[in-house]
Amino acid sequence: MLDILKASWIKAAANNGDTATDFFRTVTVKEGVKHAALTVTAHGVFEAFLNGKRISRDVLMPGWTSYYTRLRYITYDVTDLLNAGENELKVGVGKGWFFHNVESWGCDSLKHDQAALICALSITYDDGSTEEILSNKEWTTAKSNIVFNDIYDGETLDLRIKDAAHTPAVEIYYSRAMLIPYEGVPIREQERIAGQKLIITPKGEYVIDFGQEVTGYVEFSADVPAGTEVILKHFEMLDKEGNVYTENLRGAKATYTVISDGKPFTVKPGYTFYGFRYIQALGAENIRPEDFTAIVVHSEMKRTGYFSCANELLNKFAENVIWGQKGNFLDVPTDCPQRDERLGWTGDAAMFSRTAAINFDVKAFCEKWLNDLEADQLADGSVPHVSPYTNIYWNGPDGYNSPAWSDVALIMPWELYVAYGDKGILARHYNLMKKWVDFMIAECRRNGGGTLQLPWTTGGFGDWLSLEELNSESAYSGTDCGLIAAAFMANALRILMKTNRILGYEDGEYPEILKKTIAFFRNEYMENGRMKQETQTAAVLAIIFKLTDNPQATCAQLVENVRAHGRITTGFIGSTYLLDALTIAGEDTLATDLLLRTEYPSWLYPVTKGATTVWERWNGIFPDGRFADAGMNSFNHYAYGSVLSWMFRRLAGICPDEAAPGYKKITFAPAPDERIPWVKATLDTVCGEAKSAYQKTADGWEFTFTVPADSEATAVIFGKEYPLEKGENTISVTV
Ligand code: BGC
């Protein structure tokens, strides 16, 4: 049996509440240790030390999973940290995602009794003998000098507390049934950004600007009298007047408080994180930017996509999308990292998954999360709004099932398959995929008392945050929710049927139901190839999901709509697919118009307002400088960053082929535009590096395409096809 399964869950005799708990064990070791490993996990998040040394670079471990059925343990090699003789093993446990203070999210399901630890130190000696040190009542516990900790509210460190009293640990019969080996990628400190400048606001607040919105925490040094409280408030924006703005964090206090013991200190938190560009420092005088360092924390992912072009604003936008992903890929793909939310919203992840897999290698990260999603899926196939699931009771009785959101069950595995070419991805998540499709079908049958009646729902989040009216602050969609439900159901059926073909499974009734879904869509929402409802998103879905029987008419309608508005009106859903739909309509120039637009609302408008990440809403800040309602106004939401996939696939033109996934076949089909005289994109695919670079010449364009060693490729430029060799190919086109 695995050592950790022999160990006991232990906790402190008294509940330490918001104070972190430290667990201790003195370990006496003989000479000749050949190998030693600590396997550990916690209810909460832990930091483990041997003889005062942190045993790993991982932070916020064991991360966030659907704890009811999936709590990962991790094994660390600690051979080099053990000495012959006495050693002190200390594991601190904070609340982490297991517990927190925000009632409004209905997170009662996460409320457990108190922080707990389970671990096993396994030692093998040179002579072949072994020893196991298990968590049990031989351990002691003490209150940590981290006297407050919370994911949303932050941390308080009281440096005056030293040598807190130890009391024996208590064994507790928490289940071990949910313990699973580590999967996914570790969370680590990734980058350090020094404080850029000190700002003294009109209100006299002392603020350090890091110049970049990040997710993580701040390390800082100070030398202040004993008992002084230095408080750092983390926030994203200065308001119109240039003062500290924290309202949009809602209930999250997002502070780090350090109480000095009178000696100079350098500290950082260990059980929390923040989404911020600025901190306000209270309690310390003469602060200097160089005393503060923002530490960027996210899951370990290899960067794979790089985009640059002649337009600086577009480059900044592309960089902001990268920062949005870094900031929201912290073990779970979250909506945002700063306010009292930071949840694994399924719709956001669905819309962003293609772009995510371009920017970074996210295979392991996403598959871990898909396992959480599957763990949260109900027996009837229902898929939650957020995973790990947190009882979001405010939105319907149980926080499950929304078109496009729940469709992440199909969309994400498919995007990963296309990006990485591994059938195993589809096989591993097949149950999740199929059960969601079967759920929608069952709902249609329920609606029709046994016969199929579409759409499966007329509810859900719709085209979240669409902007039909310029001044609207409503989150709810202008596009019919039934239309969205039917469109995504057709898409899901198609993905499932393609998957069946790949895995060799039967389609059963799916083709018939797909036919009916398409017929329903046409009858109900279309007339003569045009959408009855005149929204961009309605037409976009009909085009992208191939639901229209008259693509020309639908495309013409979309183009008319975009021209008439002169701008995007789309929300989370429509914005993901709008430029692709315009490409299908043969309107790359119009797509580029939208992409290059800088006036409100547009992708580049936030960039002109100094954004360093992608905003949640088009009108996060209105042109007159006013913030949108603080109830929902994050400045780091990746959903609208999903357009970056169009910039790679169409503007730069690196297009994968579903039939030869993992970029085994590539079509380089860029859409050059005079307004962007050069474009360069590099993609580190599983087949090798693919590159598209082109520039305007005196009489046309010159293209250089790099075909990866393991890929085959062709180029299509202005409608003409060119065969390509492996390696670098240069093509000059006169126009
Ligand atoms: C989140 C979103 C999410 C939405 C549901 C918001 O509170 O921040 O990004 O998708 O709710 O519609």
Mean pLDDT of the 695-699 span: 97
Distance of CA 67 to the CA centre of its chain: 19
Phi, psi for residue 4 in degrees, rounded to 5: -65, -25
Read off the tokens for 650. Answer: 């169409």
Closest atom of ligand 1 relative to the 637 alpha carbon:
9
- Write the secondary structure of 113-169 as one string of H (helix), E (strand) and C (coil): CCCEEEEEEEEEECCCCEEEEECCCCCEEEECCEEEEECCCEEEEECCCCCCCCEEC
Alpha carbons 10 and 24: distance in angstroms, whole number: 11
Structure tokens at 149: 């900790």
Atom of ligand 1 nearest to the CA of 335: 9
Please give the backbone phi and psi of residue 428, each rounded to the nearest 5 degrees, phi first: -65, -30
Q: Name 719's Cβ contacts closer than 8 Å, sequence gap at least 6.
A: none
Give the pLDDT of residue 114. 87
Q: And the tokens for 283?
A: 């309690």
- Whether the ω angle into residue 455 lies within 30 degrees of 0, i.e. cis, is yes
Whole-angstrom Cα distance, residue 271 to residue 414?
34
Cα–Cα distance for residue pair 547/483, rounded to 1 Å: 11
Q: Interhelix angle for 572-584 vs 551-565, to 10°?
A: 120
Average pLDDT in the chain: 95
pLDDT of 397 reads 47
Which entry of 341, 374, 443, 468 is annotated as an active-site residue?
A: 341
Angle at 669 between CA 324 and CA 687, to 5 degrees: 70
- The rounded Å distance from CA 83 to ligand 1 centre is 51
In angstroms, what is the span from residue 342 Cα to ligand 1's centroid?
Answer: 10
- R_g (Cα) of the chain, nearest Å: 27
Mean pLDDT of all residues in 451-469: 95
Closest residue (by CA) to atom 2 of ligand 1? Answer: 335
Q: Extract the tokens encoding 644.
A: 């970056």
341 is catalytic: yes
Question: Does the structure show a pLDDT above 60 at 269?
Answer: yes
Burial annotation 618-635 (CB, 10 A radius, 16+ → b, else e): bbbbbeeeebbeeebbbb
In this prediction, residue 108 carries a pLDDT of 47
Query: Atom 11 (ligand 1): residue with closest C-alpha?
Result: 345
pLDDT at 104 over 70: no
Binding-site residues, ligand 1, Cβ < 6 A: 335-336, 341, 345, 347-348, 461, 464, 632, 637
For residue 248, report the distance from its CA to the centre of ligand 1, in Å.
14
> Which of 105, 342, 348 gets mutated to test ligand 1 (max ligand atoms within 8 A of its CB)?
348
Which residue CA neighbors atom 5 of ligand 1 most closely? 461
Alpha carbon distances (Å) from 51 to 33, 96, 135, 335: 16, 24, 17, 39
Distance (Å) of CA 49 to CA 55, 78, 131, 301, 378: 5, 10, 19, 25, 39
Residue with the nearest Cα to atom 12 of ligand 1? 461
464, 479, 634, 635: which to mutate for ligand 1, most atoms within 8 A of CB?
464
Q: What is the pLDDT of residue 2?
A: 78
Mean pLDDT of all residues in 253-282 = 98
> Residue 509, CB half-sphere, CA atoms under 13 Å: how many?
8
Helix (H, G, I), strand (E, B) or coil at 575: helix
| Residue 333 scores a pLDDT above 90 | yes
- C-alpha distances in angstroms, 471 versus 467, 506, 621, 628? 8, 50, 11, 10
What is the rounded CA–CA span in Å between residue 701 and residue 735?
Answer: 8
Interatomic CA distance for residues 81 and 55, integer angstroms: 8
Q: Based on the residue annotation, tell me whether 205 is a catalytic residue of this protein.
A: no
Q: State the pairing for strand pair 332-333/329-330.
A: antiparallel
As a whole number of angstroms, the distance between CA 155 and CA 40 comes to: 23
**Percent of the chain, pLDDT > 90?**
92
Q: Percentage of the chain surpassing pLDDT 70?
A: 97
User: Which of 334, 340, 345, 484 is the best mutation target for the ligand 1 pocket, counting ligand atoms within 8 Å of the beta carbon and taking the most?
Assistant: 345
Sign of CA dihedral 725, 730, 734, 735: positive
Statement: residue 396 has pLDDT above 50: no
Per annotation, catalytic residue among 367, 415, 587, 616: 616
Query: What's the pLDDT band for 82 if we cut at 50, 70, 90?
Result: very high
Helix 408-420 / helix 430-447 crossing angle, nearest 10 deg: 150
> Can you spell out the DSSP letters for 404-450?
TTTTHHHHHHHHHHHHH--HHHHHHTHHHHHHHHHHHHHHHHHHTTT
By alpha-carbon position, which residue is closest to atom 7 of ligand 1?
A: 632
> Among the atoms of ligand 1, which is closest to the Cα of residue 336?
8
Distance 689 CA to ligand 1 centre (A): 35
Q: Give 339 Cα–ligand 1 centroid separation in angstroms.
A: 12
Say how many Å lie between the CA of residue 345 and the centre of ligand 1. Answer: 6
CA–CA separation, 621 and 34 (whole Å) = 60
Residue with tokens 């297009």: 655
- What is the structure's pLDDT at 101? 55
pLDDT band at 732 (very low <50, low <70, confident <90, very high): very high
Distance 364 CA to ligand 1 centre (A): 24
Q: Which residues pair with 281 in a beta bridge?
A: 232
CA 97 to ligand 1 center in whole angstroms:
19
User: 386 by DSSP, 3-state: which?
Assistant: strand
Q: What are the angstrom distances between the C-alpha of 592 and each of 584, 589, 612, 634, 673?
A: 13, 5, 22, 26, 8
Q: What is the reported pLDDT for 175?
A: 87
Residue nearest atom 9 in ligand 1 by C-alpha distance: 335
pLDDT tens column, 343-356: 999 999 999 999 99
Looking up tokens 């007159």 gives 624
Q: Is the pLDDT of residue 394 over 50?
A: no
Nearest CA to ligand 1 atom 3: 345
Pairing of strands 712-717, 85-94: unpaired
* pLDDT at residue 358 is higher than 60: yes
Asked whether residue 49 carries a pLDDT value surpassing 70, the answer given is: yes
Ligand 1 atom with minimal separation from the 572 CA: 10
- The atom number, within ligand 1, closest to the CA of 348 reads 10
CA–centroid distance, 368 to ligand 1, in Å, is 21
Distance 490 CA to ligand 1 centre (A): 23
Average pLDDT over residues 156-163: 96
Query: What angle, 0 to 180 degrees and rounded to 10, lies between the N-to-C axes of helices 363-376 and 408-420?
Result: 160
b/e burial code for range 360-375 (CB count within 10 A of at least 16 → b): bbbbebbbbbbbbbbb
Phi and psi at residue 12, in whole multiples of 5°? Answer: -75, 155
Ligand 1, atom 1, lies closest to the CA of: 335
292: pLDDT strictly greater than 50: yes
How far apart, in Å, are the Cα atoms of 291 and each of 15, 197, 220, 268, 349? 36, 11, 5, 12, 36
Closest atom of ligand 1 to 405 CA is 10
Beta-bridged to residue 232, according to DSSP, are 256, 281
Structure tokens at 69: 């059925």
Q: How far is the CA of 402 from the centre of ligand 1 (A)?
A: 12
Report the DSSP beta bridge partners of residue 50.
Answer: 53, 89
DSSP tag of 629: P
Angle at 301 between CA 300 and CA 306, to 5 degrees: 145
**How many other β-carbons are positioned within 10 Å of the β-carbon of residue 528?**
9
Ligand 1 atom index nearest CA of 385? 5
Would you say 22 and 142 are in contact if contact means Cβ atoms under 8 Å apart? yes
Atom of ligand 1 nearest to the CA of 616: 9
Helix (H) or strand (E) holding 595: helix 588-596
- Nearest-atom index, ligand 1, CA of 346: 10
Contact call for residues 115 and 18 (beta carbons, < 8 A) = no
H-only helix segments in 191-334? 312-328
Tell me, what DSSP letter sits at residue 628? P
Distance 458 CA to ligand 1 centre (A): 18
CA distance 216 to 294: 7
CA distances from 111 to 163, 271, 331, 364, 594 (A): 29, 17, 20, 28, 46
Q: Give residue-wise pLDDT tens across range 510-527.
A: 999 999 999 999 999 999
